[in-house]
Amino acid sequence: MTFLKNNRWVWLLPVLFLYSCSAGGQYWRVRVEMPRPVSFELERFQEMVVTDFLVVKERTDFDLNKETTEYFAFEFGKNITIPVSRAAVAPEGAETFEQEAFWKGIPTENEDAIVFTGTIDYKSEVRKALVDREKRQFEDPFPDSTALEERKFFTLFFDLYLIDARTGEILYQRNFKETRNYKNPNQTAYFAYFDLIQSVKDKLFQAFLGEELLQERYLINK
């Protein structure tokens, strides 16, 4: 992976090879990894501290803060080179994120540490959704129809703050709203939560780690 990051045009070699082997009038569809720029360099710090999150509304079926903090501490711990620790410190309200003195008091192992914190809210509801009904084989050749069907919708609101533990200054802030619906009427909120939080994690890793994006390209020989 390090070799690919340091040689960002390596992906072009198989593309050039395919192009050189093509015949007149032919084309190929190929999948190549395109490098993404890093929007925030986490590893310029010596430590990441994951604190408790401010939960807008507590749930009765599972501990939203516990699942969120443990999930990100684990995922970052195995994907970045700096140590990742936990601090059982919770923001007291939305105004806490602007209070530099509060974050300068976070216990850390290293002076140059970054705090991973934020707010989280999770909602679920049953709604009617307009869906297409596909024709089955041997049915009359009428156009496909649409119908209203019940779907379980789950929405995750995730507001992230990265704060300098030395100065208490907010260095990075980003808001997420992830929604997914399920046909299964027995779909649990706990299971759907991990689908949604993984989507947040994937977007964060693209921003922080510059992971390659797999894209399709066409090679044409005129």
Q: Is residue 218 part of a domain?
A: no
Q: What is the pLDDT of residues 55-78, one digit of tens each?
A: 999 999 999 999 999 999 999 999
Q: What is the pLDDT of residues 146-177, one digit of tens each?
A: 667 788 999 999 999 999 999 999 999 999 99
In CATH, what number is assigned to the domain containing residue 170? 3.40.50
CA-based nearest residue to 113, from 46, 40, 51: 46
The count of domains in the chain is 1
Confidence (pLDDT) at 3: 44
156 in Cβ contact with 91 (< 8 Å): no
Phi-psi region of 140 (alpha: psi -120 to 50; beta: other; left: phi over 0): beta
219 in Cβ contact with 28 (< 8 Å): yes
Provide the pLDDT confidence category of residue 219 given band limits of 50, 70 and 90. low
Q: Is residue 3 part of a domain?
A: no
Q: Is residue 194 part of a domain?
A: yes
In this predicted structure, the answer to whether residue 52 has a pLDDT above a threshold of 80 is yes
Which range marks the domain in which residue 80 is found? 39-132+150-207
Q: Is residue 216 part of a domain?
A: no
Q: Is residue 48 part of a domain?
A: yes
Q: Is residue 5 part of a domain?
A: no
CA distances from 45 to 25, 29, 71, 86, 218 (A): 53, 41, 21, 16, 41
**What is the rounded average pLDDT for all residues in the chain?**
82
Q: What is the pLDDT of residues 94-120, one digit of tens each?
A: 999 999 999 998 999 998 999 999 999
Q: Is residue 6 part of a domain?
A: no
In this predicted structure, the answer to whether residue 216 has a pLDDT above a threshold of 80 is no
Q: Is residue 72 part of a domain?
A: yes
36 is written with which tokens?
Answer: 């993404």
